[in-house]
Amino acid sequence: MWAEGKVRIIDIAEELGVSTATVSNVIHGKTAKVSGRTVKRVQEKLEERGYIPNMAATLLAQNNSRIIGVVIKDHEKYEGKLLTDPFIASSLNDLADEIEKNGYFMMVKKAACILDAVKFASMWNMDGMVILSFCADEYQELRNRIHIPFVVYDGYFENSGRICNLQIDDRDGGRQVGEHLRELGHRRVLCVADNRECMDLRRYEGLCSGLGFPADFMKIPMRRQERERFYGERLEGLRQYSAIFAVSDYYAADLMRFLQKAGVKLPEEMSVAGFDDGAICEQVVPSLTSVRQNGACRARLALELLRRMRREPEFFGDFLTSVRLIPRDSTGRPPCPDRPPNG
């Protein structure tokens, strides 16, 4: 009668009359120097005894841990709710599906500093990493500190080697929004964003290209409470526009809530469009017109590139994925014919 409790490697070894090293090698798949008969005996005994291996130790003992790390910058704009941000949550969901489908494990880390990823990667002997939301100069610094491959989501930097950067076509997404609003007859258009750099700048430039004239630009606060006050102080100015393009669904939904609270009818008095096409687009009323990213496609490409970088350590490149406008109920024709605010 066996004693209750966790089964140990030494217990299996004693029952079979083999060394603990032999049992450990079978568990970890290092069977080149173990006879087939012994491997079978050990495996049968492990199954019979219900042995549950220490997964972390097993993975760390292998050359391939099958772990993909995902490191995300915990930026102040997320206000302590990073993993519930619609874009971040959607990206993690797509990555989780693709990573599991390919037989890997996903580990997620929120980090204030990109160099936190160095310890994270070495602790778990990772096969690769996906990095999100850090600044341009940080990626190359990380590249110089670690040897494992990693891919970057939406990096805006001079790629000097050994990094794969996956961007979406932000400018074309903005262009599609601009063309949509122009076709509806909008001539007084505003773009709102918390900065005028990188992806937000490209989305704004694309918007102007699609409209055929320069849209106005408004820099908004990152924190929701501050935006509420900011919009309140500028309500009459906002009412001068017939359409507003927010560079993310989160900002678009937030703006819609403010405008509706202020009595503005959407889209009868004002149209609103966003970017990302997350789940929130179908949850708000009216449903939100947005630019759809193909997150599943990008996650699939990320895994393909990580595998290639493991085979070819010097491989690198910048890759662009397409986007598509999804018109919904939040955009419609303006209440009366417009002229552009700038001419």
Query: pLDDT of 118-146, one tens digit each?
Result: 888 877 888 999 999 888 778 888 888 88
How much is the mean pLDDT over the chain? 90
Share of the chain above pLDDT 70, in %: 92
The predicted pLDDT at position 4 comes to: 42
Q: Does 319 have pLDDT greater than 90?
A: yes
pLDDT band at 338 (very low <50, low <70, confident <90, very high): low
The predicted pLDDT at position 125 comes to: 80
pLDDT band at 286 (very low <50, low <70, confident <90, very high): very high
Pick the CATH number of 9-53 from 1.10.260.40, 1.10.10.10, 3.20.20.10, 1.10.3720.10: 1.10.260.40
The predicted pLDDT at position 2 comes to: 39
* CATH number, domain 171-293: 3.40.50.2300
User: Could you check whether 9-53 and 67-169+294-322 share the same CATH topology?
Assistant: no
Q: Assign a CATH topology to domain 67-169+294-322.
A: Rossmann fold (3.40.50)
Q: Does 152 have pLDDT greater than 90?
A: yes
The predicted pLDDT at position 343 comes to: 45
The predicted pLDDT at position 324 comes to: 98
pTM score: 0.79
CA 87-88-93 angle, 5° bins: 100
SS3 162: coil
SS3 182: helix
pLDDT band at 65 (very low <50, low <70, confident <90, very high): confident
The predicted pLDDT at position 132 comes to: 94
The predicted pLDDT at position 53 comes to: 62
Q: How far apart are CA 252 and CA 288, in angstroms?
A: 8
The predicted pLDDT at position 159 comes to: 86
What mean pLDDT is predicted for residues 214-219?
98
Q: Does 270 have pLDDT greater than 60?
A: yes
Q: Domain segments of the chain: what residues?
A: 9-53, 67-169+294-322, 171-293
Q: For tokens 């292998």, name the residue.
A: 62
Per DSSP, which regions of the chain are E strands? 67-73, 105-111, 128-132, 150-153, 164-168, 189-193, 216-219, 243-246, 271-276, 289-293, 317-321, 323-326
The predicted pLDDT at position 3 comes to: 41
The predicted pLDDT at position 129 comes to: 96
Q: Does 5 have pLDDT greater than 80?
A: no
